Amino acid sequence: MARTVVGFGEDDLRTLAGVRSFERGLGYLDAVTGLEVGEGSVTAVVHGTDIYEVELSLGGDTGISGWCDCPYGQEGNFCKHCVAVGLTVLRQAEAIPRQRSAARARASGLQAWLTALSRDELLALVREQIGEDRELRRRLELRAAAAHSDTDAVRDRILVLIDPRPFARYGYIEYADATGYARQVEEAADALRALASGGSAARAVGLAEEAIRALGQAYEEVDDSDGVVGQAVAAVAGAHLEACGVACPDPERLAEWLVSQVLGDRNDATDLDPLDYAHVLGPAGLARMRQLAAEARRRSPRGWAERYLMERLVKAEGDVDALVALYAKDLVPSGVTHLRIAEELEAAGRADEALAWAERGLRETATEAHVDSRLVDYVCDRYTRAGRMAETVTVRRGRFRAERSLAAYQHLRAAARAADCWETEREAALAVLRDDARRERGGWYAGPVLIDALLDDGDLDAAWREAADRADDRQWQQLADLSCEARPADALAVYLRLVEPLKEPTGDRVYERLARLLSGARGCHRALGTEDAFAAYLAVLRAELKRRRKLMTILDQQGL
């Protein structure tokens, strides 16, 4: 019933938070105060090491998300405080519909009250609020200056808003301070829009360019892991674009500015796309930009920004052959450029040429161990559509022999099964992997790919034969997990061996893995009918590690 009412349940909280944070959240249920239910969200305060504010967004069919201003929560994690608030909501689920209704009534009442106030009463209310809230007063002052086209006042305030120094306590803006700085940058963007719409669009263009230049420099010293500052800077760039649309600046001068931004060292902040300005640039501006891009390309033919700018301009002109020629000048060894050419040609209705370029890409990357998988998929998909199954197998076989990875083996298996030739292909593929294993060519986790392939095939007997002195711990555990019923004694020996090195290290991940191994061992003992032996083993282990209280808690939760 609770999940139906609030749109989530305990399992959703556990999935979002992870076992560790979920269990910790249970200990904070009594620390939740000030729970306030809105129409689509819940806010509360949680008293922990400090006092933290939590907001849960209840998305109905889309589930739940949470935000907390604790350090862990500010890293984007669904923390223990979010869990505590979520559990509190679930425990009060029956009251949630009534509280939501009350929230709607309050919002409606506020709206009705404000509507009924006279102009003088509204002014008095605003004056009261700006007298108590300094930030609100500053925001309104900026809006007023923009509305009256007081460009000097707007410029001064914008420069204050985008100045990173008040937030840079140690010479740079830390993660925890990025959101506050982003809010100020968004205020600057709002002011620029207001200035442009208030009859000073040309001045707004110049101020926006000044702000973008300063923000490009400031962005280098910001920990913007969540991208909030980048979004705010993009809003300033958007205000510049809007102002240009109103002011219609000189197109050639605008083209020169845009090119300087794209080719500059500090375009990471705004990530400007010059083609967004095409309607402002017009033919003259686009021609000037193309001229500047060509000159930059000649000066730096390998430059990423130069290549990007030229590609965007050529693509906008709709000349597919010119775009193909441009891509063909710098073919990347991974085959990604061949794929781009193929996609452009196919989009232009030239499917045969597209496939020819993709096939060329496979030929020219045949000896590369790492090729863009999308190129391989592209060719195989076209072959499969045309019923060319044998050629699909040939491509997959070639990539498998070059990569020797589990993924390449799986792709080969799928293609060969579709072509009804997997038995023959499998024998040859396993022979290659056995040769690699003998040469100690390890897989991603050091164990040979041969064992991963056999496990993926479900060929456990062969996997056991090959595992001796070759498998890594990950493969041994997977082998044991898959063999609990068929070979419980062998699987049990693996579990017990893997437990031993985990007795020394500490930490939740170690404890959780230890619990999984012990659960596997318990299953083997059940299959063998030796539950008493497992109980005795577990009792000795718990006595040995009894001082690790978190481990004991995890074992208790698993019934161990």
Hey, what are 439's tokens? 């040469």
- Of 155, 268, 157, nearest to 219 by C-alpha is 268
Per-residue model confidence (pLDDT) at position 444: 42
Q: What is the DSSP letter of 65?
A: E
> 0.75 cut: is pTM over it?
no
- Of 75, 72, 52, 53, nearest to 223 by C-alpha is 75
Q: Could you read off the pLDDT tens digit of each residue along the chain, which spans 560 residues? A: 455 567 788 888 888 888 888 888 888 888 898 888 887 788 999 987 778 889 988 765 557 888 888 878 877 788 999 999 999 988 888 887 888 888 888 888 888 998 998 998 888 888 888 888 777 777 777 777 777 777 788 888 888 888 888 888 888 888 888 888 988 899 899 889 888 887 889 999 999 999 999 998 888 888 888 788 888 999 999 999 999 999 999 999 999 999 998 888 766 777 788 889 999 999 999 999 999 988 988 888 888 888 888 888 888 888 899 999 989 988 888 899 999 999 999 999 999 999 999 999 999 988 887 888 999 999 999 999 999 999 999 999 999 998 888 999 999 999 999 999 999 999 999 999 998 888 764 444 467 899 999 999 999 999 999 888 788 888 999 999 999 989 999 999 999 999 999 888 888 888 888 999 999 999 999 999 999 999 999 999 999 988 888 888 888 888 88
Contact 245, 203 (CB under 8 A): no
Contact 321, 327 (CB under 8 A): no
Hey, what are 514's tokens? 């230890």
Per-residue model confidence (pLDDT) at position 439: 76
- Of 493, 485, 486, 428, nearest to 467 by C-alpha is 493
- Of 368, 252, 245, 262, nearest to 307 by C-alpha is 262
- For β-strands 64-68 and 41-47, DSSP reports them as unpaired
**Tokens 């350090």 belong to residue:** 71
- Give the 3-state DSSP-derived string for 12-41, with helices as H, strands as E and coil as C: HHHHHHHHHHHHHHHCCHHHEEEEEECCCE
Per-residue model confidence (pLDDT) at position 292: 92
Per-residue model confidence (pLDDT) at position 442: 46
Contact 357, 342 (CB under 8 A): yes
E strands, 32-124, in order? 32-37, 41-47, 51-58, 64-68
Contact 103, 110 (CB under 8 A): no
| Residues comprising the chain, all counted | 560
pLDDT tens-digit series, residues 497-520: 999 998 888 888 888 889 999 999
Hey, what are 166's tokens? 């008040």
3-class SS at 470? coil
Helices and strands (H and E) in the chain: how many: 28, 4
Per-residue model confidence (pLDDT) at position 440: 64
Q: Which residues pair with 65 in a beta bridge?
A: 57
Q: Which residues contact 217 (CB under 8 A, 6 or more apart)?
A: 266
Q: Which residues contact 193 (CB under 8 A, 6 or more apart)?
A: 204, 239, 242, 243
Task: Kindly give the interhelix angle for 373-385 and 351-364, rounded to the nearest 10 degrees.
Answer: 130
CB contact burial 336-366 (16+ within 10 A = b; e otherwise): bbbbbbbebbbeeebeebbbebbbebbeebe
Q: What is the DSSP letter of 66?
A: E
Per-residue model confidence (pLDDT) at position 320: 92
Contact 56, 85 (CB under 8 A): yes
Contact 340, 354 (CB under 8 A): no
Hey, what are 378's tokens? 């592209």
Contact 315, 293 (CB under 8 A): no
CA 431 to chain centre: 39
CA distances from 170 to 75, 167, 223 (A): 19, 9, 12
Residue 482 CB: number of other CB atoms within 10 A?
Answer: 15
